Amino acid sequence: KHADTAMYDAKAHGRNGCRYYNPELTAEAVHRVELEAGLRRALELDEFIVMYQPQVDARGGRIDAVEALVRWRRADGSLVPPLDFIPFAEECGLIAGIGARVLLRACHDAAAWMRRGLRLRVAVNLSPMQFRAPDLLERVCEALDRSGLPPGLLELEITEGALMEDDARTRATLAALRGLGIGIALDDFGTGYSSLSYLKRLPLGRLKIDRSFVAGLPDDADNLAIVRAILALARHLGFRITAEGVETAAQAALLAGLEADSLQGYLFSRPVVATEIESIAARGWTIGALDRVG
């Protein structure tokens, strides 16, 4: 059994290697089995909840969109953050079920806000596996039909990892989604496999500047150079820009001064439950554009 465990570890590290058994490997294997069983049960018991983080229009200072962010609420009331289970759910194939729930929930919530007079775009994260699934379009259309959400109020966030394979198919999928009127945002821009050539070829609508580049602004000269370059690139190619991880008024002012379209981060709000969005949306922010950015 131990030899077998070591063999799996060797395979997981790219095959054609040599690994020794150690007890941690057993512990890890047990953890994975438990996590998978837990996620299956969570799907049955409907334990996934969707929270929403506002995106603020950098010019008007009002919320014009929210990003849907999943959490796993366990029976004991604890909230498991997405990075603790999404990558694993992607590996074991459970992401399809979880992702479908999130998409439907987000469309329903945004449609409910719209019926009460609050038009907000809702952004939903798609993992690479969801993006490549043959039934993606069907799922998206189903969620729009069932919720009554207009396609123009849905945006799908994909990462650079989703764009790496099969260019013709990627392009066809993106074109079909755009053809329906759905927005596409490239999440965590600049942190993945950044082949700039796809920016020219693929029908994307928005780039999201990763929060690692926003951190340390306005003083971090390297990040400032990167953010300026991304904004110039986006402007030239006709993409909208959302900056993530905006935590301070100085960051917001700098980004507004550099003409980012929208801002997202703890400065405005942490992710909140759907029922809190209406009161947050009633507020406005004054984003004093920093003049020293020139």
Interacting residues with ligand C2E (CB under 6 A): 53, 69-70, 81-83, 86, 99, 102, 125-127, 157, 187-188, 211, 244-247, 264-266, 271
Contacts of 157 (CB under 8 A, 6+ apart): 67, 123, 124, 125, 126, 185, 186, 187, 208
Q: Which is nearer to Mg ion, 9 or 54 (CB)?
A: 54
By CB under 5 A, the residues from 197 to 256 that bind Mg ion are 244
For residue 262, what is the enclosing H or E element? Answer: strand 262-263
| In the complex, least distance from residue 193 CB atom to ligand C2E, rounded to whole angstroms | 16
- Segment lying near Mg ion (by CB under 5 A), choices 9-17, 136-144, 185-193, 269-277: 185-193
CB 286 within 8 A of CB 61: yes
Nearest residue to ligand C2E on Cβ basis: 265
DSSP strand pairing (183-189 vs 206-209): parallel
Distance CA 252, CA 248 (A): 6
Q: Which stretch binds Mg ion (CB under 5 A): 52-60, 81-89, 119-127, 129-137?
A: 119-127
User: With respect to ligand C2E, which residue has the nearer C-beta, 70 or 94?
Assistant: 70
Instruction: Please report where in the chains the tokens 């929060």 appear, as a residue.
Output: 211
Among 23-31, 48-56, 183-191, 235-243, which window interacts with Mg ion (CB under 5 A)? 183-191
Closest to 274 in 3D by CA, of 82, 124, 40, 53:
53
Told to check if 125 binds Mg ion by CB under 5 A, we report yes
User: Of 21 and 192, which has the nearer Cβ to ligand C2E?
Assistant: 192
From Mg ion, ligand C2E, none, interface partner of 99 (C-beta below 5 to 8 A by class): ligand C2E
| Per-residue DSSP letter, 265 | S
> Which one, of 177, 207, 178, 180, lies nearest residue 192 by Cα?
207
* Binding stretches for Mg ion (CB under 5 A): 125, 157, 187-188, 244
